[in-house]
Amino acid sequence: MELHSEDVDQGSELSIQNQKIYSELLAKKKRLEVLKRKDPRFETFLQEHINGLESLDNEDMSDEDGTSNHDLLSFTDITPSPNAGKLLSTSTVKSWCQIVKEQQNLSVMRGLLNAYRSACHYGAESNASVSSPAIKNKETFCSILLFMLSEGDNIFRGLLGISSDCKKQTILELKSSKWESVKPMVKSFFTSTLFLLNQFTDADILAYTLNRLRVSLVLFAAFPSLQWKLTEVAVRLWATGGGTLSSCSFLVLRDMSSTFGNDFYDKCLKKTYKAVISRCKAVDPSSINHIEYIKNSYVELCCIDLQRSVKVALASAQKLAAILQLGLQSKEEALMKICSWEYVLCIDLWVKYVSINIKENDLHGLLFPLIQVINGVAKLFAGQRYLPLRVKCIQWLNQLSTSSEIFIPVSSLALDILESSNAQEVGKPVKDDVNLSTTLKLPKYWPKKWEFQEECVLAAVELLCAHFLQWSHHISFPDLATVPVIRLKQYYEKSTVESLRRPVKRLIDQVERNMDFVQRKRDDVSFSPVDQAAADSFLQGVKRDDKSPFIQYYKSITQNAVTRKLSTNGKTSVPNQKKVEGKKRKSPQKLEDASADSEKKIAKISENPSTGSQQVVKRKKQRT
C-alpha cells in the first residue's frame, strides 16, 4: 500500500498501470477466496502449489554467491516488493523491519535480505544481480545494515524457536519444515555479511560486524563452507588489523575453535600460525606491540586443546632444529634464516607456550629441543654485532628455567656478553642510534660506541640477576655462584671506566652477601644431601616473604632497566635513514569525532561507496 501511494503521488503512466494490476490482483484474490470456500479440495490443491513455489524459492536463496531470483509476492498475503531497478525508500525499509520484528513474516524477511545483499554489495562491481533492489539514499543504506546486523540473529532464532544458548548439536539436528524454509535465508545473510567484511575498510564497522557474527556462530554449524570463509576473513583482520579489530577477530577465532570440533581446530591452528609467521617478517617500533599481541593471542588459542596444539609445536621445533643444523654447517641461506625475525619470533612463540603450560602439563618433550635450539643460536652468533640476538637467547633460557624449575646454565653466556665489551677504552659518540628492541644485528660502527659498552655491561648484569634470583634461596646457590663471581671480579679489575665498574661491583657484593647467608643456613641443617624433598623446601619460606636483600636488589635492577628502555626508545631512530626531500604528502583526513558510532560511519560510507582513490602527487624536478 505504501509503494502504491507513492506511485499515485508521482502521477506517472507507470503508476496508473500499477494501480490496474493491483486492482486485478485484488479481484483474483477474492475469486480464489470464493473457490476455497466452495471446494475444500481446491484449497488443498492450491496449498500444494504454494509449497512447491516456496521450495523453488528456497533453492534460489541458497545460492553460494547470495544471488536469488525469487519473487516476494505470496498467494496468501500479497505484499508488494521492489522489482529490478526499483528504488527502495527509507519508509519502506522501516515498515518491513517493523513487520518482521512483530509478525516474523517470511516473505517480507526475504525482501529485507535482498535489500541487505544490495547494501553489502553497494559500490562493488560484482553487484550485477537483476533481482536486487536499488538503494535510494544513505539513510536507507544505514537502516538496512544496522537492522540486519543488530536484529538478524534474534529474528532467525525466533523463527527457528531456539534459545540464545543452544549448542552446535541442536542446529545439526534441526529437520523441521520451518528449518528448511529459514535455512536459505540464514545462508544468504551470512554470505552477504562475509562479502561486506571483505569489502569494507573502516575498522569500527568491521569490528561491529564481527561482534554480531560472533553472536550467531552456532548457526554456522549448518554451513561448513562458510565456516572456513569466516575463518579466513577473521585471520586476516586479526593479523593485519590492530586494536579493537584484532581483538574482535581473535574472539571469533577462539569461539569457533571451541565450537566446531577437532578437525576445524587443527586447520585453524595451522592457518593462524602461518599468519603469525608472515606478519613477523619485518619488525619496527610501530608494529612491535601488535606483533606481541598476536603472539600472546595465538598462545591462548593453543591452550584450548594442548594435546592437539603440542603437535604443531613439535613440528615447528623440528623445523627450527633442522635449519639450525644447516647453519652449523655454515650454510649461508640457513644463517640468514636463523638471524631473521621469523625464526626469532617463532622461538619466542613456543617459549611463551611452554612457560604458560609446563607447570600443569608434561611438555618436557618440547622443552628440551627448545633449549638445545636456543643454545645453538647463542653459540652460533657469538660476535659483538649480534648482541640483541644473544640477549634474547639468554632471556628465553631464563624464562624456561623459571617456569619449569629446571636449572639451565646461562651464566657463562651472560658473562661472555660482559667480556665482549672493551672495558679499557671509552667509545666514541656517534650521531645515529639503534633501537635494540627491533634489531637483531647491529651496524658495523656500533661496537665502537660508548652506548655499546654500556649496553653490554647493563644487559649482562640484568641477565645474571634474573638467573641468580631463581636460585637465590636454593641450597646449592653458593656452589653455582662461585665461578660467575670469580669472572665478575676479573672483569672488575681489568675495567678502567668507573661508570662500568660500578654496576658490576654492586652485583658482586649482593651475590657474595647472599652466598654467605645461604651458607650459614646450610651449615645449620640436619638433613643429608640425599633427602631431595628437604633440600627443595630449604629457605622457601624466606623466598615467599619477598623481603630478602637480593630480591629487593633485583627489583631495583628491573625498574632501572624499564626506565632505561623507555628513554632509549624515545630518542632512538633507524640508522642510515635518508630524509625525503620535496613536498610532504597530505595525510588522510581524520574523522572529526573519533568516538562516532557505527551508524554514522555506515552512513558516511554510503556517500562514497568506492574504496577511495589514491592522490597523485607531482614530484619536484630532480636537483642536479
pLDDT band at 446 (very low <50, low <70, confident <90, very high): confident
Q: Tell me the chain's radius of gyration from C-alpha atoms.
A: 34
> How far is Cα 373 from Cα 490, in angstroms, rounded to an integer?
30
Average pLDDT, integer, range 449-455: 84
> How far is Cα 152 from Cα 166, in angstroms, rounded to an integer?
16
pLDDT of residue 62: 41
Residue 472 has pLDDT above 90, yes or no: no
pLDDT of residue 600: 52
Per the DSSP assignment, residues forming a β-bridge with 153 are none
pLDDT of residue 195: 92
Average pLDDT, integer, range 295-313: 93
Residue 184 has pLDDT above 60, yes or no: yes
More confident: 293 or 565: 293
pLDDT of residue 602: 52
Grid coordinates of 332 = 649461508
Grid coordinates of 154 = 534474534
Grid coordinates of 23 = 486492482
Lowest mean pLDDT among 163-177, 271-285, 349-363: 163-177
Mean per-residue pLDDT of the chain:
77
Residue 458 has pLDDT above 70, yes or no: yes
pLDDT of residue 606: 46
pLDDT band at 567 (very low <50, low <70, confident <90, very high): low
Q: How far is CA 29 from the centre of its chain?
A: 56
pLDDT of residue 312: 92
Contacts of 114 (CB under 8 A, 6+ apart): 68, 72, 82, 131, 132, 133
pLDDT band at 429 (very low <50, low <70, confident <90, very high): low
Average pLDDT, integer, range 223-233: 91
pLDDT band at 549 (very low <50, low <70, confident <90, very high): confident
**Which amino acid would we find at residue 339?**
C
Lowest mean pLDDT among 63-67, 433-437, 506-510, 599-603: 63-67
27-83 residue pLDDT tens: 888 888 887 777 777 777 777 666 544 443 444 444 444 434 333 333 233 333 434
Cα angle 379-380-384, degrees, rounded to a multiple of 5: 80
Residue 251 has pLDDT above 90, yes or no: yes
- Per 3-state DSSP, the chain is made up of helix, strand and coil in percentages (nearest 5) of 70, 0, 30
- First-to-last C-alpha distance (Å) of the chain: 74
368-419 residue pLDDT tens: 999 999 999 999 998 888 999 999 999 999 999 999 989 999 999 999 998 8
pLDDT band at 302 (very low <50, low <70, confident <90, very high): very high
> How far is Cα 302 from Cα 309, in angstroms, rounded to an integer?
5
